Amino acid sequence: MLDQIVDAVEYRTPEGIAAAISRLIRSGALSAGDRLPTVRDVAATLGVSPATVSNAWQALSGVGLITSRGRAGSYVLQASTPWMPPHFGELAGSHVVARLDLSTGTPDPELLPDLSGALTKLPTRADTASYLSAPVLPDLDLLLRAAWPYPVASLTIVDGALDAISRSLETLVRYGDRVVVENPTFPPFLDLLDHIGVERLAVDLDAEGMLPEQLARALQLNPVAILLQPRAQNPTGLSMTESRMREIARVLRAHEHLGDPVVIEDDHSGEISSAPPLSIGRWLPHRTLHIRSYAKSHGPDLRIAALGGPEALIDRIVARRMLGPGWTSRMLQTILYELLTASSSVTTVHDARRMYQARQRLLSESLVRNGLPHQPSDGINTWIPVVDEKAAIVTLAASGIRVAAGSTFAATAPAPGHPQFLRVTAGRVREEFDQVGALLAGAARAT
């Protein structure tokens, strides 16, 4: 193994040594449980100081690739969480504690609304008529319709955005079908599509959203569904412009003779997005399923989202859920209704939206000052181009910062020499914007 490591090292610096071992682990040349050579052996063979190798080991430990067992040596760790689906597991990583963890894609807990007022509105006893009651509380239904981006025929409540997407896909898609996805996209979407056994048709993005020309080519292959994120796209943080969404609708209309794929829209960051609400349903309501999640704005553990679309499709989804979870707890629906109407929580979410927008702007300005061209993103995530993804991750780990690898979000196998990126949860940066921006910009140039 020592010879293998030495042959892989291109630069005899802490970053170069760590990057070489990272490549060996990611390629499978080094497996979970393998014992690494000692620091002294590696240092002597490479002709560097033990401190140089020790710093490389610390960087690898910081990103969860290796662990030290004291005198027993250092060992390669399992790369992902075994019980998670493959793409989701890559996104979750190894749960290594970092000084500043910008890999999570989750909201800042300090910006979530207080639940105590909403909890006082819950009934003291559960309703035994739940089995036969309407799946959605009438007051919540009216409130959601008033805020929907287009007049929607039918609404239901589900257990989070992924539940809505899973239910929608299982209603529409069969083994061997084709589904259009954004590239890059949210990794759990890929797990869902793999589970169903569909072929992905990846469509690239630019600063305004999905590329119409590529979508037109994908439509020639008769997909049954199109999965997109209209605002604060994960991982890029971009929000579609109205002109681009109108163009997407035009492309879909122009190809109706080939089929009528249903557009599934995941508006996961709606309440904290600074962009206006948009939906293909404004032009094509009969073939749009629109999802509004409240995880980013009100708390992931609420596990609640609204799903709206044509009555025939929503009825099929509701009927299928009756043979599983049945419905989303009306107690949770009561909590959501109170959070969406109480002035204190409405103000908190409004302030959070402004705060996230300010954090995105401050981090973007710092990146630009440090020589990395960048535009502020929407929501909580941003997308940063890098020379070498693995080298950038290891470099940041050495400074106590954890980020997500851009390759995790690829909807298709990247071509040789493809651009590389990091996803950074900018919404979790509360201070030290100059320092964090300088470290990110420096890591972007690392090789």
**Residues 291 and 265: beta-carbon distance below 8 Å:** yes
Is residue 406 a part of any domain in this protein? yes
Residue 192's domain is classified under what CATH number?
Answer: 3.40.640.10
Q: Are residues 298 and 382 in the same domain?
A: no
Q: Are residues 152 and 234 in the same domain?
A: yes
| Residue-range definition of the domain harbouring residue 93 | 86-111+346-444
Instruction: Tell me the C-alpha to C-alpha distance, in Å, between residue 216 and each of 2, 183, 184, 212, 320.
Output: 51, 15, 18, 6, 32
**Token pair listed for 84:** 């998670």
Q: Are residues 55 and 95 in the same domain?
A: no
Amino acid at 70: G
Q: How far apart are CA 347 and CA 59, in angstroms?
A: 41
Q: What is the mean pLDDT of each run of 10 residues along the chain (447 residues)?
A: 87 86 79 88 93 88 79 76 59 62 94 95 78 87 97 97 96 95 95 92 97 97 97 97 97 92 96 96 97 95 96 96 90 96 97 98 98 96 95 86 92 86 97 96 93
Q: How far apart are CA 55 and CA 42, in angstroms?
A: 12
Q: Are residues 65 and 27 in the same domain?
A: yes
Percent of the chain having pLDDT more than 90? 72
Is residue 130 a part of any domain in this protein? no
Q: Are residues 100 and 165 in the same domain?
A: no
Count of structural domains within the chain? 3
Residue 41's domain is classified under what CATH number?
Answer: 1.10.10.10
Q: Are residues 202 and 241 in the same domain?
A: yes
Q: Are residues 327 and 355 in the same domain?
A: no
Q: Are residues 200 and 263 in the same domain?
A: yes
404 DSSP 8-state letter: E
Among candidate residues 290, 315, 343, the one where a domain is terminated: 343
Q: What is the DSSP string of 294-329?
A: -HHHH-GGG--EEEEE-HHHHHHHHHHHTTTT-S--
135-185 per-position pLDDT tens digit = 899 999 999 999 999 999 999 999 999 999 999 999 999 999 999 999 999
Q: Are residues 72 and 94 in the same domain?
A: no
41-50 per-position pLDDT tens digit = 999 999 999 9
Q: Are residues 90 and 175 in the same domain?
A: no
**Residues 200 and 179: beta-carbon distance below 8 Å:** yes
